[in-house]
Amino acid sequence: MVRRPVVVIDDHPLVSTALVVALRAERIDAARIPVTSGTEILAAVRQHRPGLALLDLDLGDTAGLDLIGPLRADGWAVLVVTACLDRRPIAAAISRGAIGWIGKQESFEQLVAMVVEAVAGHEVLSPAIRDELVRLHQSAHLRQQQLRQALARLSARERQVLTRLAAGHTAADVAAEFAVSLTTVRAQIRSILAKLDVRSQLAAVAVVNEAERAGLG
């Protein structure tokens, strides 16, 4: 059986070079792809016969997630290799078609062994775990939509007020900054709570903080 080639897309040269050397020792045709822009990465990958792409999700200015679709369209299987401990980006990668993932906190030997299994065409992620991750991604995506819709109900001034509250300012601080009465700010806060469907300023701040973590701020 002809083994599929492997390309390593990782912005840490020591990691990618060590992987290439180890895979070649396993008689696998492996190459390191320079990490530049997404377009240039894909152009470099297309110089190779499609096989298995080892992809880091954090490539500096380039989002690894955005490369999964084009790589798959070109015939590549994608195995995510990441230091990220947050399962949400991993779930997003699996939902976009990655065949599995391995954490960089695992031993180098485990990483190489998993790649060898993937190159041989063996399953590297159980259907149960894949389904769990897809559900996690769907749930996170739904929550993002809910947050986006909730924040869209706020006026520009209400968002400014909420941002100040999230930064630790009091209602009196906000009133002084915008040169309005404390009564006006308190009315704006009541409107914010109603629109976000929460009962306290603390809960409203939690919503805006969650939105920022989700990249919606």
Residue 21 lies in a domain: yes
Strands 62-63 and 58-59: antiparallel
pTM for the whole thing? 0.67
* Radius of gyration of the chain measured on its C-alpha atoms: 23
Residues 173 and 98 grouped into a single domain: no
Residues 22 and 85 grouped into a single domain: yes
Residues 85 and 169 grouped into a single domain: no
Q: State which residues form the domain around 186.
A: 153-213
- 53 contacts 16 by C-beta, under 8 angstroms: no
Half-sphere exposure of 179 (CA within 13 A, CB side): 0
Q: How distant, in Å, are the alpha carbons of 53, 90, 149 from that of 21? A: 15, 26, 49
- 55 contacts 9 by C-beta, under 8 angstroms: yes
Q: How distant, in Å, are the alpha carbons of 44, 131, 142, 173, 184 from that of 153? A: 45, 34, 17, 24, 19
Residue 191 sits in a domain whose CATH number is: 1.10.10.10
Residues 175 and 87 grouped into a single domain: no
142-174 residues labelled b (16+ CB within 10 A) or e (exposed): eeeeebeebbeebeeebeebbebbbeeeebeeb
Residue 138 lies in a domain: no
- Mean pLDDT of successive 10-residue segments in the chain (217 residues)? 81 89 92 89 93 89 87 95 84 92 87 89 82 82 85 93 93 95 95 93 90 70
Residues 54 and 107 grouped into a single domain: yes
Residue 145 lies in a domain: no
- 78 contacts 29 by C-beta, under 8 angstroms: no
Q: What's the CA gap between 28 and 215, in Å, rounded?
A: 39
Q: What is the pLDDT of residues 33-91, one digit of tens each?
A: 988 888 999 999 999 999 999 999 888 777 888 999 999 999 999 999 888 878 888 89
